[in-house]
Structure 1
Amino acid sequence: MSMFKGVLGALVAAAVALPGLTTAATAADYKDEYKVSTVLGSPFPWGIAAEEWVKLVDERTDGRISMKVYPGTQLVQGDQTKEFTAMRQGIIDMAVGSTINWSPQVKELNLFSLPFLMPDYAALDALTQGPVGEDIFAAIEKQGVVPLAWAENGFREVTNSQKPITSPDDMAGLKMRVVGSPLFNDTFTALGANPTQMSWADAKPALTTGAVDGQENPLIIYKLAKMDTIGQDHITLWHYMADPLIFAINKRVWESFSPEDQEIVRQAAVDAGKIGIKAARAGLTEDDQSLIEEIRSLGTEVTELTPEQRQAFVDATRGVYDDWAQKIGPELVKKAEESIANR
């Protein structure tokens, strides 16, 4: 009997000493499929980033970790603002999610929605790739979700069916669809518009019927959703806020992975995020305006604000900015402003 115990102990010790064996044992407990939630699927940059993540993880784990994208936030019945909570609770395993949609649960994410904080891509990069990004990831992790990497939905521009918008006065009385965030409601109210909060699934029908006059979204969404066909004839490029995306995973799922697989999943997210960002910025950079020109060719009137015109919008929303800076956290907002100034 003592000899049997000795042999058994040696076998257990050998198994513990061999990483390959422990990884295999852990992998045997992995789910057959991990659900990845997104609002938009391919060919939107959002979906491109999510699908690339799934592909890279599958390739780099030889299929041990199998993920599937569920676009349209179908895992939460289309309610974008419930996605983060569902991931925290384990209803959703993973997500590539919007900072806007997750901001009701993580107040620090409202930083990116502060009106006219970020004037350009360099400013956006200064936040996501610097100490501000690190602070925001720490805030997310405190909520029971593990953030892994950044992607991008893009700068949000304003469109409408009524007239060109060149000043806050032009916003007066316009019925505007906005996402379900109090900060968006406050911003558009300050500009004199009548904001109506609704999901993206409800937005297109409302625009089609004229129930709302306009909306705000990145230009790539305008193009791919063919918004020129539903009366959105006027676009103003005002870069009033940007919507970074975050690759994240439920904490319990994350801790179920071996350290080796955690690194694979994280690096795959970083690599997929770079591809998603490139797709989100295509045709919208200083040296490539092809997307803007393509939209103009559809007959859409595209207005580019002068610095003086843009400043009028900045001034009109300054009260909202200051109020929300207190809610988000003055120290984080100050750090963001300094990061942008030093970009």
Structure 2
Amino acid sequence: MKLQKPSLRTLLTATAAAATLLAVGLPTAAQTQAKYKDEYRMSLVLGIAFPWGQGGQLWADKVRERTNGRINIKLYPGTSLVQGDQTREFSAIRQGVIDMAVGSTINWSPQVKALNLFSLPFLFPDFAAVDAVTQGAPGQEIFKILDKAGVQPLAWGENGYREISNSKHAITQPADLKGLKLRVVGSPLFLDTFTALGANPTQMSWADAQPAMASKAVDGQENPLSVFQAAKLQSVGQKHVTLWGYMNDPLIFVVNKDVWASWTPEDREIVRQAAIDAGREEIAIARKGLVEAGKPLVKELEALGVTVTDLNAEQRKAFADATKAVYTKWKPQIGTNLVDMAEKAIAARK
């Protein structure tokens, strides 16, 4: 069958229709670009003096460089976008008050129960155990849970093992915590853990914690050594530190879902890979001085007049035994299957 050539009138009509579609319906490259914000707000608890803030800065820098400036990110440390209330951060990300964040599993655990996994007392005996969970099947399961909870998770970072300090005396056994007034974050699991150990836990934001220690309103706190060092906690009376490794605080790089959907697939992949790369670098920064022979960071603190007590396995077990009831109570609240998955991954770690 012989095909007929379209008439001039048909061609003109089709051309006009296409022009109309382009004018009113189909976005041009410039129009697509215009959907991007001039600036995206990243929430952080700690600033760039700390490994946590450095992780956020690394992410922001990599994204800006790799997108040729299409995505520009400004850091808001001190959870200033939620008036310093760390436990409100996750809800603010879902609501779009915050565009993206590098957040703590502790701070987000009130909204996402599964994140309490990392706060279970004495679950993680070493860094290899942490990696087995975050980089393995349990970590993937947690990302699925976060996705269902309304944010886009991208990568893992790390605040570190939270070690306990105080202004009174060395802590070597559970009885040494009796009556100590300790600043803790706003997590019910933390309250249960320290109450079980005989301490007097007091919920307090990080912004309020240092003045409280300086004024002796609280006796101590628990945080990674990198935080202790950067915040110079020895200057507010924290003269005794015990390395007990009772829990590790991973960080999670996330983006608000509407923001995520507004980017092209190519830019989403750039942001994801930038988060993975930044997270890997941030973890190395957070562990610096603790994974090398002799733990140089401990030596630096001792040189500042801090007494550092490093518990042996038997001493650590005494604390684990004292908090076993807390572990048992919280396991079903977190999700028995998830905890079992984590325990299995830790047992099989190399």
Q: TM-score range by the shorter chain?
A: over 0.9
> Does the Cα contact within 8 Å between 1:39 and 1:72 map onto a contact in 2?
yes
* 23-32 vs 186-195, greater mean Cα deviation: 23-32
* 24-33 vs 137-146, greater mean Cα deviation: 24-33
* 55-64 vs 283-292, greater mean Cα deviation: 283-292
| CA deviation map 1:317-342 (0-9, x unaligned) | 00000100010000100000000000
Specify the code of the residue in structure 2 equivalent to 1:51.
Q
| CA deviation map 1:29-51 (0-9, x unaligned) | 10111000000011201010100
Residues 229 and 205 of structure 1, relative CA distance in 2, 3 Å threshold: same
> Does the Cα contact within 8 Å between 1:23 and 1:258 map onto a contact in 2?
no
> Does the Cα contact within 8 Å between 1:49 and 1:151 map onto a contact in 2?
yes
2:14 is aligned to 6
Q: In the alignment, is residue 328 of structure 1 matched against residue 334 of structure 2?
A: yes
> Does the Cα contact within 8 Å between 1:118 and 1:240 map onto a contact in 2?
yes
Give me the whole-angstrom Cα distance separating, in 2, the residues matched to 1:22 and 1:166: 66
Q: In the alignment, is residue 274 of structure 1 matched against residue 283 of structure 2?
A: no
Specify the code of the residue in structure 2 equivalent to 1:3.
L
Give me the whole-angstrom Cα distance separating, in 2, the residues matched to 1:60 and 1:86: 27
| CA deviation map 1:207-237 (0-9, x unaligned) | 0000110000000110010001111000000
Aligned-residue offset at 1:3: 3.3
Aligned-residue offset at 1:26: 2.3
Q: In the alignment, is residue 287 of structure 1 matched against residue 308 of structure 2?
A: no
Structure ID, larger Rg: 2
2:141 is aligned to 135
Aligned pair partner of 1:198 in 195, 204, 220: 204
2:173 is aligned to 167
Aligned-residue offset at 1:87: 0.4
Q: In the alignment, is residue 257 of structure 1 matched against residue 263 of structure 2?
A: yes
Give the TM-score normalised by structure 1.
0.95
Q: In the alignment, is residue 123 of structure 1 matched against residue 132 of structure 2?
A: no
Aligned-residue offset at 1:289: 1.1
Aligned-residue offset at 1:287: 2.7
2:250 is aligned to 244
| CA deviation map 1:35-92 (0-9, x unaligned) | 0000001120101010011101100111011111100000000000000000000010
1:18 is aligned to none
* Identity rate, percent: 61
Residues 277 and 5 of structure 1, relative CA distance in 2, 3 Å threshold: farther
Aligned-residue offset at 1:144: 1.2
Give me the whole-angstrom Cα distance separating, in 2, the residues matched to 1:12 and 1:265: 35
Aligned-residue offset at 1:5: 3.9
Specify the code of the residue in structure 2 equivalent to 1:158.
I
2:77 is aligned to 71
Give me the whole-angstrom Cα distance separating, in 2, the residues matched to 1:149 and 1:31: 23
| CA deviation map 1:81-128 (0-9, x unaligned) | 000000000010100000000000110000000000001100000010
> Does the Cα contact within 8 Å between 1:103 and 1:110 map onto a contact in 2?
yes
**SS state at 2:149 partner:** coil
Aligned pair partner of 2:315 in 303, 309, 315: 309
2:89 is aligned to 83
Specify the code of the residue in structure 2 equivalent to 1:293.
K
Unmatched tracts of structure 1, length 5 or more: 16-20
Unmatched tracts of structure 2, length 5 or more: 1-8
Give me the whole-angstrom Cα distance separating, in 1, the residues matched to 2:143 and 2:33: 27
**SS state at 2:155 partner:** strand
Give the TM-score normalised by structure 2.
0.94
Residues matched between the structures, number: 339
Aligned pair partner of 2:306 in 300, 306, 309: 300
Q: Which runs of 4+ in 1 moved over 4 A?
A: 8-15, 21-24
1:151 is aligned to 157
Q: In the alignment, is residue 60 of structure 1 matched against residue 66 of structure 2?
A: yes
2:4 is aligned to none
Give me the whole-angstrom Cα distance separating, in 2, the residues matched to 1:23 and 1:333: 47
- Could you say what the CA RMSD is over the residues aligned between the two structures, in angstroms? 1.8
